Amino acid sequence: MAISDRVVSLSKYMVTLPKTKISVFIIIILSFLTGAIADCIIPGIPLNEIVYLFIAGGAGGFFLFGLPTIISGTIIHSSVNSLKKRHMKLKQAMFLALVGMFFVCLIYIIGVIISIFIPIQIDSVLLLATLFIFAIEALILWSTSNIKYYQGVLIAVIQPLLILSMNVLVNYFEVATSGSMVLALYTKAIVGAILLAIAIYAFIAIIQSPIKNNLGVGGLELLSLFIAQVSEGSNALETVFDEMGEEITTSVGIISFKTMDGNIKANYISPCIHPGPVGSIGGGNLPTIIANKLDDFTIVAHGAATHDFNPVAQKELDKIVEKIDEALPNMQYKDSASKFQRVEYEDAKIGVQFFNDGCLELTTFAPNPGDDIDYGVGLSLMYETKALTGVRDVIFVDCHNCLNGNWERLLAGHKRVYELEQAVAKIQKPSMHPIRVGCSYDPIDEIAVRDGIGESGLKVMITEVDNQLMLYLVYDGNNMKQHFREELMDEIHEKYPQIDMMEVMTTDTHLVNTISGGGVTVGTRSSDILIDKTLHLIGEALDDLSDVFVATDTVHVNLKTFGPNHTTELVTTIASVVSVSKLLAPVIFITAIILVTIWIF
């Protein structure tokens, strides 16, 4: 997994929030229990009064904590949405209020227990608790809603203010005419809130500075838009990426098969463009988008590309489709192909099949894990293959079919690059023969995106050349569980012994890298379904075999991507901010909490 993949994988710490009615139910139960427990743990209570105190205390707890929380959740929801920034769902606002109430209840119960042994004012404990949730909510609202800080502070005041006001109504009704204790309570609250607000602003301002300076965009804006993407499917983050992006020129390999009557039967496309960064943002769903925009059955494989080559927006993919559409009518087709061959050197394995004036080059290190291959490495291997074999086009594919743990991208100078070069040196151009091709496809809707299979499911292609059957399996997923490739091959060999050669690939789609269980590799879940579907589709592809003509081409595309400079800046800046935050946050917030506690007590 590349370093930028790890940044994206932070989405795994996000959770699916409960429905609004569930949060409200928890609020009612938790507030009732808090009030009941607080009234019943006082020493010396007669047993015959416990039931009464439990019910009365529970009712008081609901009115003190629960009712203000439910009201504040509703007000927070409408207040944030009235600012017309990032849309906040009611369930999000209610859950935020629930979290705030949880901490208030926890601190309140702890304060009641301490008061049994040490004389402290419970009202001061409650005030400290409400200031604590004010700080939490102000920080969360500011950092996730893409609103101004003062707006976040004003909205964060709602829940603490309602709880304190309910406390005043319940406990100080009889002395409300004097107002002295009420004034003192609110004075402490205002001063405490100001201290915490200053601490939050100072912390965020310090950690935001390097992000703003290096990337030209605020860190909170990035965070807010990222959350909007993984939680709502919003593509607003593309606007920011578009401003940050760099223009590149990269290659797209094309293999096209035509039936005897001149109709395109299938296209096999390998763009050296990375299908990321996450979800549907940028090129995250590249394999499906490109395949769906072409008129004919199309398999989209994973070329030589890392996160440096993530398109900044979906609209960039139209440039790829346009180039492919321009190339297809001008390609020269022949009934000429070779048998599939596999060459190896140490861990490196390269599968090669020649088609007309080009060849398909499949690279893998399976059963050893690996990740993205840098475009520069792939390009050098393409040129080596051209020089060795004399072909015009090399359609390079990173099979992306084995992962276990974290693996960095494959850059020039790595031992594995040398292994690939030595394997390429073993390639031989065999004799050419007529070719037959069969295809099949299943979206595999039975497996959800969160379980590792994207919208393109599984696409199968079988070639028959000089009595050799070669099977190509392309799963729409982000890499493959280690050893699942070999498990698939064993199952296929058992059912279809007539198949001579095969290779398994994934598209590296990042549609599966979302809050819904991001980063699940193919075969990690529902492997039985995948095996059954695969075996069935192979049968369909065998039945579909027919004589074809084949042509290859390589087109070059100019598009805007993250680029190596901004990708590096993004990763290093976030890494430095995280490191500084680990040291800075405790110093700032502990100091603020100590000052607020001293002020209150």
For the segment 526-539, the average pLDDT, to the nearest whole number, is 98
pLDDT for 346 equals 97
Calpha distance 408→372 (Å, rounded): 8
pLDDT band at 228 (very low <50, low <70, confident <90, very high): low
For the segment 396-413, the average pLDDT, to the nearest whole number, is 92
The pTM of this model reads 0.79
The gap from C-alpha 383 to its chain's centroid, in whole angstroms, comes to 35
- Residue with the bigger pLDDT between 259 and 217: it is 259
- Residue with the bigger pLDDT between 238 and 103: it is 103
pLDDT digits (tens, 9 = 90+) for 473-505: 999 999 999 999 999 999 999 999 999 999 999
Q: Is the pLDDT of residue 369 over 50?
A: yes
Per-residue burial over 416-444, b if 16 or more Cβ lie within 10 Å, else e, is bbebbeebbeebeeeebeebbbbbbbbbb
pLDDT for 296 equals 96
In degrees, rounded to 5, the angle at the alpha carbon of residue 166 between the alpha carbons of residues 161 and 168 is 95
pLDDT band at 157 (very low <50, low <70, confident <90, very high): very high
pLDDT digits (tens, 9 = 90+) for 299-320: 999 999 998 999 999 999 999 9
pLDDT for 175 equals 47
Q: Is the pLDDT of residue 515 over 50?
A: no
For the segment 112-135, the average pLDDT, to the nearest whole number, is 91
Sheet of 546-561: strands edge to edge? Answer: 298-300, 264-271, 246-259, 546-561, 435-442, 458-465, 468-475, 501-506
pLDDT digits (tens, 9 = 90+) for 236-273: 677 777 777 889 999 999 999 999 999 999 999 999 99
pLDDT for 516 equals 41
For the segment 63-84, the average pLDDT, to the nearest whole number, is 95
- Residue with the bigger pLDDT between 376 and 181: it is 376
Calpha distance 578→570 (Å, rounded): 12
pLDDT band at 522 (very low <50, low <70, confident <90, very high): very high
pLDDT digits (tens, 9 = 90+) for 575-600: 666 677 777 778 888 888 888 888 88
The gap from C-alpha 545 to its chain's centroid, in whole angstroms, comes to 39
pLDDT for 362 equals 99
pLDDT for 381 equals 98
* Radius of gyration in angstroms for the set of CA atoms belonging to the chain, rounded to a whole number: 31
Q: How far is CA 375 from CA 272, 397, 429, in A?
A: 7, 11, 24
% of the chain with per-residue pLDDT over 90: 67
Calpha distance 15→95 (Å, rounded): 12
For the segment 189-215, the average pLDDT, to the nearest whole number, is 84
Dihedral, CA of residue 583, residue 585, residue 591 and residue 593, to nearest 10: -150
For the segment 224-230, the average pLDDT, to the nearest whole number, is 66
pLDDT for 181 equals 77
pLDDT for 123 equals 86
pLDDT for 11 equals 52
Q: Is the pLDDT of residue 174 over 50?
A: no
pLDDT for 216 equals 66
What is the average pLDDT score of the chain?
89
